[in-house]
Every structure is written in C-alpha cells, then in structure tokens.
Structure 1
Amino acid sequence: MLRLQRMARLLGTNCLRRRHSATLRSSTKNASFSEVLQLEDKKLMGIVFPLQGLEKYLAPDVNTSTFRIFNPSLHDIHRAEALFIPCGKHVIDYFSSAIRMDHTPQLLQPEVCFLGRSNVGKSSLIKALFSLAPDVEVKVSKTPGHTKKMNFFRVGKFFTLVDMPGYGYRAPQDFVEMVEAYLQERSNLKRIFLLVDGLVGFQKADHIAIDMLEEFGIPYVLVLTKIDKASKGVLIKNVLEIQDFVKEQTQGCFPQLFPVSSIEYSGIHLLRCFIAHVTGNLPIMNS
C-alpha cells in the first residue's frame, strides 16, 4: 500500500494532464483507457475483456471459470495505466541491449520478459503497451527475426520490461545460450509472457519453450496475439485448445489466457493491469 501511495504522489496531477495530451496525440484509437471508457458498454467490455467476449459463442457446457481468474475492476485498470504514462520524474525509456548475461544491466526493480516465436507480434505488442509513451523507441519490422538482442525498457522506478529475440525461424545463432542463461540467473524476474500466434495456435517451437519454462520452474502466462486477424471460429478453437493444454499439462502457467490485438487494443488495458499487478505495483484484492 505504501508503494502504491508513493506511486500516486510521484505521478500526481501532472500525469493526469499528460494522460489527456497523450490521448490527443495518439493516432491509434482506443490506446488510452480514458477513451475506451467513452464507448458503449458492449464495445467497452469487448475491448477490455476479449476473452469474456467469446463466451456467447461457446456451448453452455464449456468451462469458462478460467476466463475471470484475474478480474480487476475498471478502476483498477485505469489506475494501472498511470504506470505506462511518462511524466516528471517517471521516465519510460529504452535502456540498453545485451547478447550475453554479463552485458545485461543490473537493475533492482521487478522485471517481466516477453518471449515468443519470430513473427508472433512481440515487438508490436510491446509498442502497443507503450503507446502512451510516444518517445519510447520500439522497433517493429515486417521481417521475422528482427530482434537479435535482449532489449531492456525501464518503466520509471517500478519495473523493467525485456523484449527477447524470437525463437524458431531466423532466431539468433546463440539464442539458446542467451535465453537459458537469462531465465536461470535473473533473480528479479517476476513473470514470463509467452506469446502464441492467434492465427495458428500452438506450434512445435511453442511446446519446446513451455517445456523449458516448466523445467526451470519459472512462472509464466500465455498471451494470444493477432486476435483481430483470426476468425471467431479459429480464435475459439485456439483458445479452447490452449485452455485444455494449460489445465492438463502445465504446472507453472497462469490458468488464464490473455488474448490481445496490437491494432485494435483489445486486451491491452487488461494486460497492462496484470503487469502492474505481478510486479507488485498494483495490489488487487479480488485477484
């Protein structure tokens, strides 16, 4: 609670003004939660909770209890957004890159890491998360395997976000050595966000990554990307298959899946809130 109070004092009224101006500057609709809150209820819920929006298409006997394990209020989601808006002493920036553990920055704040196949939309997702910090440079390329290093982004004094190279097609030659060393040695790592392509679902390389995380005993969560590009049928099929797999074959995976669209910002606000929560910056009583 004390940490949360310090955050509120740090971000203060200047951030409220910056939040408004950032929303006006943004050319992407729904990037700001303040903008989303102006939508009609049905549209709002679809943007904020896309997993719950699929319920009406499911058979009555489908278990949807895992759809609401992390179930913050709209107020909590709005509070979490403040972490992703730079102002005053709260600086959000690209910090450094590394190809080996001895090159990584020694940062004390909690850390989250984004991992996934090449071309899964990892850099696009990180860019969407930082959309209210337009000065943060997140390079997005149409060429698979664009990210070759571990890229570290500081979110003030509150947490660090790490963009890892993609695995599979066009992965860096030393990918295994780089990633395994990071996962085993990074003591302030709080959660791995493992991205799965919503158009194709689980691939062989994804299963290998999950086996690695399970072996290392690292808490992780699955994020389903590109949901705006998948048909409802394909999306539901992949969601249910992933849900069954997590229940039956994993120990360290958070039971709830996080579907997102980096284009329409569906699920982005909830994911921001989850990141704020798992890094210890946003206590939520009912989650």
Structure 2
Amino acid sequence: MSEFKPVDNLYTNPVDRLQPMVQVPIIPEKDSCFRPTRDEMEKAAMMFEEQGKKHKFQFLGSYPNPHIMPKWDVPEVAFIGKSNVGKSSLLAAMFAQIPDLEVRTSKKPGHTKLMNVFKVDNLFHLVDMPGYGYNMPDHFSTSVEAYLKSRRNLLRVFMLIDATSGPVGFDHVAIDMMEEMSVPYVFPLCYIFSVMAFILFDGSVGMTKNDQKYFKRYSDLRLPLCMVLTKIDLAKPSTLIRSVLSVIKFRDETRADSCFPQPFLVSSMNGEGLAFLQSFIAYITGNLLIKSLS
C-alpha cells in the first residue's frame, strides 16, 4: 500500500490523545475495558508481518454467498460498513507489511461486490464484506445476512463508521440487524465460536443515515458487533470527539446489547490505532493474552 505513511507512535489508543481536550471521560470507564500494553500491541502487530516461510498470508477467494464458501476450521472476523467507508483500505493497511498480498481498493463507492476472505497464517481469517448504501450489490441482503446468520466460526463483526460524521442512516439498520441476530459486534471509529462483527464508520464524516439503518438492523439480529471509526486522520480533534460521543449515544439509545461497549478509532493512511485494533482481533481469536483481562 504505497500511500501508507505510519505515524511515529503506532502503539497507542487514539482516544488517549483526545482525552486531555475534554473534562469528562470520552469513553466511560466501565466501557473502556480493553487496555493492552505496548508490548502486547507489538506482539499483535507482528502477527500481520512476514516471519519466514511458516507464517503465511493468503487471499483465499471472493464469494457471492456463504453457501459456496468453504467451511474452514479457523476463527473469522468480518468488516462491514457503508460504501466507501474504507473497509478495503483498512485491510490493506493491516497487510501493509506483506508485499505479496494485494488488497484491492478503490475511491469508487461500492467497489467491493463479493465477500473477500484473507488468511492470516492458520490463526484466523479476515472477511471484507460488500458495502451497504450507495451502489451496493443487489444480493447484499441475502448474501451478507445469510453469512452472518449461518457462519459458525464467525467471531465478531466490525462495523465501520466515518469519523467525520458519526453514525447515520443505514448504520442504524445495520445495528438493528446485528441485535436481531444476536451477533456480537464492536464499534472500531472503523472455544465454541461466539459471533462478532466489525462495523466500520467513516470517522471523518460520522454516522450517516445508512450507518444508523444497518446498525439498527444488525442489532435486531443480535449479532456481536464492534464499532470502528475510520479516516480519523481527516477529522479535526473536536469533530472526532463529537463522532465518538455520537456513536456511544446512538449505541445506548438503540440499546444494542450485542455491541462491544468500547469503540475503536483507526486511520488507514497513517496507521494510528491500527495496532490497538489488531491486538483486539488477536485477543478475541485466542492468539494473544491480555494481562489486564486475565
């Protein structure tokens, strides 16, 4: 990913640099439960780097529906969000140290039409889902919802939100669907397997009406979600703080019990928040021990 220019300190939580600007906690202490150390974040980041021939990365394929997707015996995490929120760009940033693994990105909304699966050694798979909203594929509802409902090794769904606007529109529908499916999710601001989805939001825009629509939809399906605010490098600190607060407020108003309480903030351009998110993925897939949670 040629445009990827990492910040000096990659191993921090972006919320920490915003907190001194306000008098009250941006994320309530009861919700700020994931606190990896720098050493733990460095270990997680290494899982996304080449470490000899035994540590392999691979693009496994693109699938229009889950029925033709092989049933691999490793954990999966999925990334979903509105068109052009930066799902593919986030994955490209995660794999920036793997020159032989190409993640196709585009500035055109709705570029991703199929479910793209990427293998991180034999540790876990990352699934790039088609975007909802503008120019989304006709089969979106049937293919994506079928995957979320039936994929037994899906751990979590990450819902991405544009950090410059916060959650809006279709995001609400997405959250409702997750709750209805009982799928655990996390807001990144971007075992017997339990389900968790990552819903990505453009941090430079905030939650759009589409974001709100799909967040509500996925919440109703009871999917385990994580909320991720993307494009935080494009948002002013004041805008970013408002986006984080709006995501938390929206989550509480929606009563999204399946949503991981702590939102994540990331930039695909400079890598801020990337190691923090990678450490969470490594933790929930059983590949990283977090001392503060043990």
When the two structures are superposed, what TM-score results if normalisation uses the length of structure 2?
Answer: 0.81
Q: 1:80 is matched with which residue: 44, 51, 66?
A: 44
User: Relative to 1, partners in 2 of residues 1:75 and 1:183: Cα closer, same or farther, differing over 3 Å?
Assistant: same
1:232 matched residue in structure 2: 237
Q: In the alignment, is the contact (CA less than 8 A) between 2:4 and 2:93 conserved in 1?
A: no
User: Relative to 1, partners in 2 of residues 1:266 and 1:62: Cα closer, same or farther, differing over 3 Å?
Assistant: closer
2:5 matched residue in structure 1: 29
Between 66-75 and 180-189, report the one with greater CA deviation: 66-75
Please give the secondary structure, in 1, of the residue aligned with 2:248.
helix
2:184 matched residue in structure 1: 219
Deviation at 1:66, TM superposition (A): 5.4
d(CA) in 2 for partners of 1:213 and 1:285? 29
When the two structures are superposed, what TM-score results if normalisation uses the length of structure 1?
Answer: 0.83
1:17 matched residue in structure 2: none
Question: Residue deviations 1:119-162, cap 9 Å, x none?
Answer: 10111111011111121110000100000000000111000000
Q: In the alignment, is the contact (CA less than 8 A) between 1:121 and 1:226 conserved in 2?
A: yes
Deviation at 1:89, TM superposition (A): 1.6
d(CA) in 2 for partners of 1:228 and 1:147? 23
Tell me if 1:121 matches 2:86.
Answer: yes
Moved over 4 A (4+): none
The one-letter amino acid paired with 1:232 is P
Q: In the alignment, is the contact (CA less than 8 A) between 2:36 and 2:290 conserved in 1?
A: yes
Q: In the alignment, is the contact (CA less than 8 A) between 1:114 and 1:163 conserved in 2?
A: yes
Q: Is there any run of 5+ residues in structure 1 with no aligned partner, and where?
A: 1-24, 31-35
1:18 matched residue in structure 2: none
Q: Is there any run of 5+ residues in structure 2 with no aligned partner, and where?
A: 186-225
User: Relative to 1, partners in 2 of residues 1:151 and 1:209: Cα closer, same or farther, differing over 3 Å?
Assistant: same
2:193 matched residue in structure 1: none
Q: 1:48 is matched with which residue: 7, 12, 19?
A: 12
2:142 matched residue in structure 1: 177
Higher CA-based Rg: 1
Figure out how many residues of one structure are paired with residues of the other and give that number: 251
